[in-house]
Amino acid sequence: MYAKMGLIYEAKQVFDEMPEKNVVLHNTMITGLLRCGMVEDSKRLFQGMKETDSISWTTMITGLVQNGLEREAIDLFGQMKLEGLSMDQYTFGSVLTACGGLTALEEVSNALITFYGKCGSPEDSSRLFNEMNFRDEVSWTALVSGYAQFGKANETIALFERMLAHGLKPDAVTFIGFFQLAAERDCRAGKLEEAKSFINKMPFHPDAIGWSTLLSSCRLYGNLDIGKWAAQSLLELEPQNPAGYILLSSIYAANGKWNHVAQLRRGMREKGARKEPGCSWIKYKNKVHIFSADDCSSPFCDQIYAELDKLNEKMIEEGYVPDASSVLHDVEESAKIQMLNYHSERLAIAFGLIFIPRGLPIRVVKNLRMENVHVEISGDMSLLPSKAVEDDIKAYYHLEE
């Protein structure tokens, strides 16, 4: 009430004295601070929130635009995208306003290139980039980053080399993205020794996603030695990151070394590393539908499972052989395959096939990195009747017919 009346200091005092504050109260206070031009106060409050929602992020983005901080608004939009939060017309409207608020034409173009890249449309970024009369380091970095974020290794590397050929100097972020993607390209091709050699020559160390990618590829190709090295490097960087334990466990499980799997599980418990339950979601008619593995909570459960079973049958007819080596349970092969069939992202894709009109994109968002899922699904795409886009909060995968 105080905030709406413009009595911001009185509102802040009441807010500070409240013993319990929920997301709604935080959002209201942030709105009031931004309306009064108290941007730094609103930032501190937003960054200190234990829990945020899409309204929190949209409020901050809108407030930054209203206070003339268009570049910060666009950067925050990128962070929001990585958090996997749903966005509505108000969010996109504010970001487009931010792009329009930039004074120079080059700034607007660079902002839109960044915007398209963070929305998962690097092709649109490239189209706009090619139409620009003047391209600076910001233009190139925005385009390279967009392709890198989408996991398009060959395109990113080619752009990076073009950037150097034009005499432009990439920043540290672009360098890391380039070297990491070059290593990832070798990983996906099964050239793990080359990837290890490339990483050792890098001027920067890979981040957690880079080590996870290498470790995931080691699981796929059964390379235990490099897998141990990648897992150790990942755990040194992030001791409580469960990915190192889980992916290395997968390699041990594929080799039947169940005692090593048990040791890693004990190590996880001792380090306090907890595996975040995987879930996938898909938006249809302004409603978000969330799925977890073997989920039967959807009112369309019977239709979804029937669609998925039909798709699995088609895949097997086409010669698809499930890879059950990643299942961390010492059970029969048939039981492992059953566990694979109903992963959360598969359920979400089946939902999309049922309800999203043929020819329109199917966009699935997942809260965990999907290196293994990408390998499993990429073989099915010729069987799908429409384009599918898979997307997670750490990286992007674009799958289509």
Set out the domains of the chain in order of their start, with CATH numbers.
Answer: 1-102 (1.25.40.10), 279-396 (no CATH)
DSSP state string for 263-290? HHHHHHHHHT--PPPPEEEEEETTEEEE
Distance CA(161)–CA(156), nearest Å, equals 9
pLDDT tens digits along 235-245: 888 887 787 88
Burial of 47 per CB tally in 10 Å (0-12, 13-18, 19+): exposed
How high is the pLDDT of residue 387? 44
How high is the pLDDT of residue 397? 41
How high is the pLDDT of residue 82? 60
Residue 203 CB neighbours (<10 A): 8
Tell me the CA distances in angstroms from 289 to 46, 206, 369, 389, one per residue in order.
Answer: 27, 34, 19, 16
- Tell me the residue type at 99: C
Closest CA to 337 of 324, 321, 326: 324
Burial of 175 per CB tally in 10 Å (0-12, 13-18, 19+): middle
| Tens-level pLDDT at each residue, the chain (401 residues) | 444 445 677 777 888 878 788 888 888 888 888 888 889 999 999 988 888 888 899 899 989 988 888 888 878 887 776 666 766 767 777 777 777 666 555 666 777 787 777 667 788 888 888 888 888 887 888 888 788 777 677 788 888 888 888 888 776 666 666 666 666 676 666 678 887 887 787 666 777 777 887 887 787 788 888 888 988 888 888 887 787 888 888 888 877 788 888 888 888 887 777 776 778 888 888 788 889 888 888 999 999 999 988 888 887 888 877 665 555 554 555 555 666 678 888 898 899 889 988 877 777 877 765 443 333 343 344 445 444 444 444 444 444 44
pTM of the model: 0.50
Asked if 144 and 159 touch (Cβ cutoff 8 Å), the reply is: yes
Asked if 184 and 196 touch (Cβ cutoff 8 Å), the reply is: no
pLDDT tens digits along 26-61: 888 888 888 888 899 999 999 888 888 888 998 999
Expressed in angstroms, the distance from the first to the final Cα of the chain is: 53
Asked if 90 and 119 touch (Cβ cutoff 8 Å), the reply is: no
Coil vs helix vs strand at 389: strand
Residue 284 pairs in a beta bridge with: 287
Give me the half-sphere count of Cα atoms (radius 13 Å) on the Cβ side of residue 336.
16
Closest CA to 230 of 253, 199, 258: 199
Distance CA(26)–CA(37), nearest Å, equals 17
Residue 390 pairs in a beta bridge with: 364, 397
How high is the pLDDT of residue 326? 56
Classify the phi-psi angles of 306: left when phi > 0, otherwise alpha if psi is within -120 to 50, otherwise beta. Answer: alpha
Residue 292 pairs in a beta bridge with: 279
How high is the pLDDT of residue 394? 42
